[in-house]
């Protein structure tokens, strides 16, 4: 195994921050000739830098297709979800975030997101609650959401792998970024139903919700639209589902609860706001609906004991 050292000190090569002149020189050279071999680039470009340093500067800073600046909330969510799924594989995470570099994501994680999770009582490495009994509602939401999202992505991936196998076309089953949070893909997966306390429980691509859905949940026979502010809360009692309308500040007590709403056309990504959800809930709602073509579907959200549902 070889290794490319970068003995800047001993050979008179420069190191440390790049000057605007160096940037311009590197940029001009690559635009003209491409980078080719990084090892020989510095000499050809007239730079007193090692090839490694040039490569890093180009990839992390000079490349034209880099988006700089503040991370959006959606990006935050994506990073957290992807980290829960992929761990510290920054390059893999960066592959799902167009125009962001692995280095930038890594720095952002280490300086901000990690702390944020810790403050919420979530272990940033395992993405699990540190002390469940003392968790804030916010942390409970986040923890459950992460687990649910990770499961969804896995299911989505598995589904695609199965599709690939079925088609037997021999190509690797790569999940493109644009499909990472594709609800249709998740909904189409044929994973056996489970009843754990996930926020996001089920997606189903049917227009009329009736009886027990494919995940084993009684979705009710209602066809209420979230915009009507009449989301129906189903109370789970064993295998039976009682039903009551979410009243003012309905508090789930004693049992798991399930918020169910269905709509033939949930294409608006702000629909759940009709429930006047608090910020922690909107965070989830955004995650669910953002950038998604979402029609003829229904959604179930489980609530844990003690969680408040504002409806």
By CB under 7 A, name the one of 48, 76, 108, 278 that touches DNA: 108
CB of 32 to DNA, least distance (A): 17
By CB under 7 A, name the one of 106, 195, 207, 243 that touches DNA: 106
CB of 75 to DNA, least distance (A): 12
DSSP 42-104: HHHHT-SS-HHHHHHHIIIII-TT---SPPPHHHHHHHHHHHHHH-S-HHHHHHTSTT--HHH
Give 57 or 157: the residue with its C-beta nearer to DNA. 57
Give 108 or 241: the residue with its C-beta nearer to DNA. 108
Give strand pairing partners of 233. Answer: 244, 259
Give strand pairing partners of 202. Answer: 300
Residue 182 contacts residue 160 (beta carbons within 8 Å): no
CB of 293 to DNA, least distance (A): 30
CB of 89 to DNA, least distance (A): 3
Residues numbered 60-89 forming contacts with DNA, rule: CB under 7 A = 60-61, 68, 88-89
Q: Which helix H or strand E contains 236, and what residues bound it?
A: strand 232-237
* Separation CA 147–CA 153 (nearest Å): 10
Q: Is there binding between residue 215 and DNA (CB under 7 A)? A: no
**What are the tokens at 191?**
């994973």
Angle at 189 between CA 300 and CA 162, to 5 degrees: 165
* Separation CA 105–CA 152 (nearest Å): 23
Q: Is there binding between residue 18 and DNA (CB under 7 A)? A: yes
CB of 258 to DNA, least distance (A): 38
The count of residues in the chain is 311
**HSE, side-chain direction, 13 A CA sphere, residue 259:** 28
CB of 29 to DNA, least distance (A): 14
Residues numbered 232-291 forming contacts with DNA, rule: CB under 7 A = none
Residue 224 contacts residue 262 (beta carbons within 8 Å): yes
- Within its chain, how far is the Cα of 143 from the centroid? 13
Q: Is there binding between residue 131 and DNA (CB under 7 A)? A: no
Residue 294 contacts residue 286 (beta carbons within 8 Å): no
Binding region for DNA (CB under 7 A) out of 7-15, 198-206, 218-226, 233-241 = 7-15
Q: Is there binding between residue 99 and DNA (CB under 7 A)? A: no
Binding region for DNA (CB under 7 A) out of 99-107, 137-145, 240-248, 292-300 = 99-107
By CB under 7 A, name the one of 24, 40, 221, 291 that touches DNA: 40
Binding region for DNA (CB under 7 A) out of 98-106, 141-149, 204-212, 260-268 = 98-106
Binding region for DNA (CB under 7 A) out of 47-55, 166-174, 244-252, 301-309 = 47-55
CB of 117 to DNA, least distance (A): 13
DSSP reduced 3-state for 297? strand
Q: Is there binding between residue 15 and DNA (CB under 7 A)? A: yes
By CB under 7 A, name the one of 26, 30, 45, 55 that touches DNA: 55
CB of 173 to DNA, least distance (A): 17
160: Cβ contacts below 8 Å, ≥ 6 apart: 173, 175, 179, 185
Q: Which residues bind DNA (CB under 7 A)?
A: 1-6, 8-9, 14-18, 35-40, 49, 51-53, 55-57, 59-61, 68, 88-92, 102-104, 106-108, 110-112
């Amino acid at each position: 195994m070889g290794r490319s050292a970068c003995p800047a000190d001993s050979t008179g090569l420069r190191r440390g921050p790049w000057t605007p002149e160096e940037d311009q020189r590197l940029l001009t050279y690559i635009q003209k000739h491409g980078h080719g071999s990084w090892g020989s680039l510095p000499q050809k470009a007239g730079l007193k830098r090692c090839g490694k340093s040039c490569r890093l500067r180009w990839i992390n800073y000079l490349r034209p297709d880099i988006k700089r600046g503040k991370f959006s909330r959606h990006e935050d969510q994506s990073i957290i979800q992807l980290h829960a799924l992929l761990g510290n594989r920054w390059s893999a995470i960066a592959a799902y975030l167009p125009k962001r570099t692995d280095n930038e994501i890594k720095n952002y994680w280490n300086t901000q997101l990690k702390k944020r999770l810790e403050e919420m009582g979530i272990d940033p490495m395992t993405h699990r609650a540190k002390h469940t009994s003392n968790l804030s509602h916010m942390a409970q939401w986040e923890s459950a959401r992460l687990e649910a999202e990770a499961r969804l992505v896995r299911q989505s991936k598995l589904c695609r792998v199965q599709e690939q196998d079925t088609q037997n076309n021999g190509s690797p089953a790569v999940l493109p970024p644009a499909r990472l949070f594709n609800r249709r893909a998740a909904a189409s997966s044929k994973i056996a139903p489970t009843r754990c306390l996930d926020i996001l429980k089920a997606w189903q691509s049917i227009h009329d919700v009736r009886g027990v859905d494919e995940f084993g949940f009684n979705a009710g026979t209602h066809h209420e639209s979230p915009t009507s502010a009449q989301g129906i809360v189903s109370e789970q009692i064993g295998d039976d589902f009682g039903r009551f309308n979410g009243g003012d500040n309905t508090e789930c007590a004693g049992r798991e609860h399930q918020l169910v709403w269905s709509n033939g056309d949930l294409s608006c990504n702000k629909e759940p706001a009709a429930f006047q959800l608090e910020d922690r809930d909107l965070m989830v709602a955004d995650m669910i609906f953002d950038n998604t073509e979402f029609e003829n579907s229904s959604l179930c959200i489980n609530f844990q004991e003690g969680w408040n549902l504002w409806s």
